[in-house]
Structure 1
Amino acid sequence: MEHTMVRDKQSAAGAALRIALTVAAAVLLPQLFHAVGAISGTGTALGAALLPMHIPVLLAGLLYGPVVGVAAGVLSPLLSAAVSDMPTAALLPFMVLELGVYGLTSGFLSRTGLHGFTKLLLAQLAGRAARALAVLTAIYLLRNIRLEPAAAWQFVTAGLFGILIQWAVIPLLVKYIQDRRNQHA
């Protein structure tokens, strides 16, 4: 009984550490992109196109499961908004939902026998679909929002280049980290 309690405390502490590190990466990485955007004159367009906050959240879900994934997905945009006003208040609820769904979905999919790229693709589709549905819901339920239904499609397609980068980078990082884990196990 006592051994189980110690293991549970270590597991909770490990999850908290993973969440904290993921949130830190998900907040700091976009700041790097915003700094480059400020220097290059592209402003926030670089971050909007490359989606740097999404990478740590997807990795967290794929590597550590749904609890760490969803916590990192929800907390990352909230903390980022608190420290940098990015994402803006208008975009914050949509990002919290999208990244939360990314983390949750990728976390559940991490427990399946699906190919790594398939897990990533399904998580991306779920997160983007949740965001599009939220935007459409906001447009139709909150009639005073000045958005056209086409805005939902724009939110989905805005980061296509970032999604391509995720396809190239995330499966390789997951494989590398899992291989390293297996070597030390």
Structure 2
Amino acid sequence: MQTTTATRTYALPSVKFQSIAAALAVIAAVALPQIFHLAGAALGLGTVIGQTLLPMHLPVLLVGLLAGPYAGVATGALAPIISFALTGMPMAPMVPFMVIELAAYGLFAGLLRGVQLPAAVPAPLAWLGKLLGAQVAGRLVDAIAIAVAVSLLGNTAMTVASVWAAVITGLPGLVLQWVLVPVIMTAVDRRRD
């Protein structure tokens, strides 16, 4: 049933599509931060531009919404590991937390992609709602992982308060995602019609 964008059902794409989408998203999630860091260095901003604009998050969220939860989890889990192996970034203590956080973003974006909303909800708002759900769920999973690391493992490099600090620092990146993701997903919907 494909009557309107808001009520369309989203069956999972083929395994081939999911695999290709995940591979391309991992490449983008590794390359985009490097591009942003180079731009930051050229502008004299250092690495703060990457922390502010969250370039690794965008491909993970998009692949979850486009290709489903399997591609989203795979991208979210692999991107920080591959990025660290190739570039040394993110810093080693951050890698496990980024794996958990980004895998959660990909999972929840993929799960929410199939949620049907009333036809009265415009497509861009529907995609924004799904994106916000994935972002909130990913941050909650990240906060839980940090709380476990702090309380059980004695990890003092991370604190639960650092989740809130990351949200504040990354607010421009969140706004960028709130604009780009609904626009991209609405364009994809139009091409599917």
Q: Aligning the two structures, in what range does the TM-score lie when normalised by the shorter sequence?
A: 0.7 to 0.9
Q: Which runs of 5+ in 1 are unaligned?
A: 1-9
The secondary structure found in structure 2 opposite 1:90 is helix
Alignment partner for residue 163 of structure 1, among 141, 151, 174?
A: 174
Provide the residue aligned with 1:122 in structure 2: 133
1:177 is the counterpart of 2:180? no
Aligned-residue CA RMSD in angstroms?
Answer: 1.6
Change (3 A) 1:64 1:144: closer
Quote how far apart the aligned CAs of 1:144 are: 5.2
Change (3 A) 1:28 1:148: closer
Provide the residue aligned with 1:79 in structure 2: 82
> What is the TM-score of this pair, normalised by structure 2?
0.84
Residues 50-89 of structure 1: CA deviation (Å, up to 9, x unaligned) = 0011111101011111111111111111111111111111
Higher relative contact order (CA 8 A, sep 6+): 2
Change (3 A) 1:146 1:175: closer
- Structure 1 stretches of 4+ with a deviation exceeding 3 A read 146-149
Q: Which runs of 5+ in 2 are unaligned?
A: 1-12, 118-125
Using the aligned pairs only, state the percent identity. Answer: 46
Give the aligned residue type for 2:52.
Answer: A
Change (3 A) 1:171 1:85: same
Residues 123-142 of structure 1: CA deviation (Å, up to 9, x unaligned) = 00011111122122212222
Where in structure 2 are the equivalents of 1:7-86 lying within 5 Å? 11-86=14-89
Residues 6-57 of structure 1: CA deviation (Å, up to 9, x unaligned) = xxxx933222211111111111111110101111121111000100111111
Change (3 A) 1:113 1:148: closer
Quote how far apart the aligned CAs of 1:147 are: 4.6
Structure having the higher helix fraction is 1
Contact 1:132 1:152 in 2 (8 A): yes
Quick one: distance in 1 between partners of 2:25 and 2:142? 21
Alignment partner for residue 154 of structure 1, among 127, 140, 165?
A: 165
> What is the TM-score of this pair, normalised by structure 1?
0.87
Quick one: distance in 1 between partners of 2:158 and 2:22? 34
The secondary structure found in structure 2 opposite 1:41 is coil
Quick one: distance in 2 between partners of 1:70 and 1:148? 24
Contact 1:131 1:156 in 2 (8 A): no
